[in-house]
Structures are given as C-alpha cells and as structure tokens.
Amino acid sequence: MRVGLFIPCYVDQLAPAVGEATVAVLERAGCAVDYDPDQTCCGQPFWNLGLADEAARLARAHLERFARHDAVVCPSASCVATVRLHYGTLGVGADAAGLRARERTFELSEFLVRELGRVELGARFPHKVALLPSCHGLRELGLGRPSEAVGAAGEPGPTEQLLRAVAGLELLTPSRDECCGFGGAFSVEFPELSGRIGRARLADLAATGAEFVTSTDTSCLLHLDGIRRREGSGPRAIHLAEILAAE
C-alpha cells in the first residue's frame, strides 16, 4: 500500500526523529511512503481556540494535499482525531472525496493493527515501559479502553498490542488513565494547573518502576519530559514509533 505521511507540527519542529521512525516502521510493514514537505498544520490549534475560519482554511488545504493517497498515516492521535472527527463540524470535507480522505486518515498504531493486521514488526526494546494513553487516542479514536468504561475489559487496544509484541519490553500499567496536563492551548492559558496535572501524572507513571513512558502523541511526551528534566526524575519519554523502529 502507498501511504501519505502526515507529520504533526510538533514532530516537524521539535521531534523529527519520530517522523523518521514512523517511515522506518511503515516501510518495515511493507508500505511505500510518500512525504510532501510542503504540508502544513492541520488546523487543530486554531480549532481549539475557536478560530473556525482559520482552521477551515487549513483543513481544506490539508484534504486537497492528501486526497490522492490510499491511506494517510500520522504519528499523532490528536491530529488524526481533528481530521477524521472535527473537520465535519468546520463544514470541510463533506463531499465524497473529502469524506474518503478523512475516513482513510489513521493514527500509526491503528493503521498497523486494524488496517494491515500487523502486530509483530521485529522490534526489540529491552526496557520497562509505561503506556500513557493520550486523551484523543483513548476517547476519540478508541485506541484503548478508558477507565470510566464499565463492563468487560475487552481486547487490548492497538497500541498495547504492538508494545506487547516488542521483544524484551516489559509493559507496565499506571494506576489510572488521566490527561497529562498539556491540552494544547490549555497549557498556555493555565500553565500552573497544566504543570500540576503533569507532575501528578509523571509521579504515577514513575511509581510503576518504568524507565520510559510512551504514547501516540509527541505533544504529551514533550510536556512530561519537560517536567522530568525540571524535576530531575521520572521515566524518559519515547514515542511509540521510536520503540517500534528499534532493533
């Protein structure tokens, strides 16, 4: 399958190694990867701030750029949720081509497991790792089962399935799934509260004994890793793609 690589702004500007790892993982899974260096923001920050006109402008440009691909894959649950679920609210991508482009936009782990049927990718990462399910991935894309859900536990989400298949990796579970405190513009508007939530989240992850914390969202990981560096302790941040690309 030929896929379009959708790179979030945070990855492009602050964590390019996550993008490179995503390419390596997709190619290992048998995909041909197209990357358009002229792609821009999907519009999520503007949508979150209520700037609907600016968000819609970026959304239209995004769909035009990616409409030709069989599938679009992104190492960010929040960006994928924006495209797939929220463009409709903006009145963008309601035509047949737009709907197809939105529906064929996937977060990396769901694409590998649910579209390609791949769990074992030959990765090796001999470390203790705690999983931080991002809010968008958990509650908008269904990449796991949120703690407030009732009933049977059900099948593990695609992110957990992939991590459990990594050789040498010991997956550890924190006591709860909660927001890391980043929340995009939330961390700018309410920095003290954002930091307080982040410190509590990092402490819970550290209590598992993990060496690393991983997630589907670079923004969450950057937030927690910044707190770790200031506090001087806690698990180091590493994106899911970087673990899956490790050999």
Domain edges within the chain: 2-115, 128-245
* Distance separating alpha carbons of residues 107 and 22, to the nearest angstrom: 11
CA torsion sign, 219 to 239 to 38 to 29? Answer: negative
pLDDT band at 240 (very low <50, low <70, confident <90, very high): very high
pLDDT score of 80 more than 70: yes
Identify the residue with better confidence: 191 or 83. 83
Cβ–Cβ < 8 Å for 218, 10: yes
Q: Are strands 212-215 and 236-239 parallel, antiparallel or unpaired?
A: parallel
Residue ranges with strand state E in 6-62: 32-34
pLDDT score of 2 more than 80: yes
* Distance separating alpha carbons of residues 202 and 196, to the nearest angstrom: 10
> Which tokens in the block code for residue 180?
């890391």
pLDDT score of 27 more than 90: yes
**Rounded mean pLDDT, 31-39:** 95
Burial of 94 (0-12, 13-18, 19+ CB in 10 A): exposed
* Distance separating alpha carbons of residues 72 and 31, to the nearest angstrom: 11
pLDDT score of 198 more than 80: yes
Residue whose C-alpha is closest to residue 224's, from 209, 216, 213, 210: 213
Cβ–Cβ < 8 Å for 93, 101: yes
* Distance separating alpha carbons of residues 8 and 66, to the nearest angstrom: 14
pLDDT score of 72 more than 90: yes
- The confidence score (pLDDT) of residue 159 equals 96
pLDDT score of 147 more than 90: no
CATH of segment(s) 128-245: 3.40.50
- The confidence score (pLDDT) of residue 153 equals 62
- The confidence score (pLDDT) of residue 13 equals 94
Cβ–Cβ < 8 Å for 129, 96: no
- The confidence score (pLDDT) of residue 130 equals 96
- Name the residue with tokens 């409709």: 88
> Which tokens in the block code for residue 80?
């994928």
pTM of the predicted model, to two decimals? 0.93
- Name the residue with tokens 């959708």: 6
Cβ–Cβ < 8 Å for 220, 195: no
- The confidence score (pLDDT) of residue 20 equals 97
The percentage of the chain sitting over the pLDDT mark of 90, rounded to a whole number, equals: 80
